[in-house]
Copies of this chain bind each other. A is one copy, B any other.
Amino acid sequence: MLVVMSHDAAEADVRRVVEVIESMGYEARPMPGKQRTAVGLVGNDGKVDSSRLEGLPGVLHVIHVTEPYKQVSREWRPESTVIELENGTKIGGPEVVLMAGPCSVESEAQILEIARILRAAGATVLRGGAYKPRTSPYSWQGLGLAGLKLLAQARAETGLAVVTEALEPDTVDPVAEYADIIQIGARNMQNYPLLRRAGRAGKPVLLKRGLAATIDELLLSAEYILAEGNGQVILCERGIRGFDDHTRNVLDLTAIPVVHHLSHLPIIADPSHGTGVRAKVTPMARAAVAAGADGLIVEVHHDPDHALSDGGQSLWPDQFRELVEQVDGIARAIGRTLAPALPH
């Protein structure tokens, strides 16, 4: 941490900064310069509350040199985390994983039909919401526990692994019981009690980036899960808030190589929520894999016209099959392959 002083800061101001740093238990190292003095704080263990220094007289600003996260950082753990699901799917290795399914679980017939289509198309993980976070209280809120059971049934019949969202601490346990991966949605990226509970549930966690979250904030939220002893975290870029209304969000694909550089955790992309428009899903799925994504999570529905939610951004089965074919080619072009389809 570097405390930059105003060019007209008094000697006494600099001394005060040194004293405060020392009173916090760190070493202070003043560096007088041509135009101003800066004071280095040595020994920062990531717990320094800089706000205390920012308010001192003569302080221009405080610069953070050390990253605030530890366990998620590739600096401290160079080898990539690879998460293996029960059905053999590996996330974070050389293979690109396809997760797909409807926005919401609607009925037994619906989820089973979609699951069979996806399995045949080559996906290995089934997505589907049972507990739905809806912007309006008057929108349909999902089947809840009944939805979880239908997902488990689809898993039993197809072999697909299941990822579904937990909306609050109390639903983490049922989700962990029926699913292979606990999803934390973008709106809940900084719901810390939920993150902690998910960190203790003993299952992999899919953590989506919040709409206005910096990458450091995303990694700090992941750090909450690792701090509970759970290293099986998959990050997900799903779009940030933008100003253009041709798409719902701005899919920030550069986050993928940035996260790969900063962290050993895998990162996938969600081109469905990232664009919000069906016709943009496949191009952005291709782009995500080209940028290095470890997987995709895509909304697919066998009958989007009658979907209970997000019908307009769900792919038709034929469109998904075309997507798989195209991203297969992209993956090969960069020396990767799609995760192998489940055996018949």
Q: Which residues of B contact A343 (CB under 8 A)?
A: none
Given A66-B35, A253-B284: A52 and B311 interface contact (C-beta under 8 Å) = yes
B251 near A253 (CB under 8 angstroms)? yes
Docked Cα-Cα span, A287 to B329, in Å, equals 13
B245 near A52 (CB under 8 angstroms)? no
B4 near A65 (CB under 8 angstroms)? yes
**Chain B: which residue is nearest A31 at the CB level?**
B40
**A residues adjacent to B (C-beta < 8 A):** 2, 4, 6-8, 20, 29, 31, 33-36, 38, 40, 42-44, 46-47, 49-56, 63, 65-66, 68-70, 75-76, 133-140, 167-170, 187-188, 190-194, 210-212, 214-217, 220, 223-224, 227, 240-247, 250-258, 261-262, 274-275, 277-280, 283-284, 286-292, 304-314, 326, 329-330, 332-334
Q: Which residues of B contact A288 (CB under 8 A)?
A: 287
B214 near A243 (CB under 8 angstroms)? yes
Docked Cα-Cα span, A298 to B89, in Å, equals 37
B215 near A246 (CB under 8 angstroms)? yes
How many Å from the CB of A270 to the closest CB on chain B? Answer: 13
Given A284-B291, A333-B332: A168 and B193 interface contact (C-beta under 8 Å) = yes
Docked Cα-Cα span, A246 to B42, in Å, equals 23
How many Å from the CB of A188 to the closest CB on chain B? Answer: 6
How many Å from the CB of A240 to the closest CB on chain B? Answer: 7
How many Å from the CB of A131 to the closest CB on chain B? Answer: 9
Add 11 more A-B contacts to A245-B245, A290-B330 (CB < 8 A).
A2-B38, A35-B66, A54-B311, A55-B311, A169-B169, A188-B191, A243-B243, A244-B252, A253-B253, A257-B280, A329-B333
12 contacts between A and B (CB under 8 A): A20-B305, A46-B136, A49-B139, A49-B308, A52-B306, A135-B217, A168-B193, A187-B191, A240-B250, A242-B252, A251-B253, A253-B284
How many Å from the CB of A61 to the closest CB on chain B? Answer: 9
How many Å from the CB of A256 to the closest CB on chain B? Answer: 7
From the candidates B29, B43, B254, B292, name the one contacting A31 in the complex (CB within 8 A). B29
**Chain B: which residue is nearest A334 at the CB level?**
B326
How many Å from the CB of A50 to the closest CB on chain B? Answer: 7
Q: Which residues of B contact A68 (CB under 8 A)?
A: 135-136
From the candidates B35, B47, B56, B311, name the one contacting A305 in the complex (CB within 8 A). B56
How many Å from the CB of A229 to the closest CB on chain B? Answer: 12
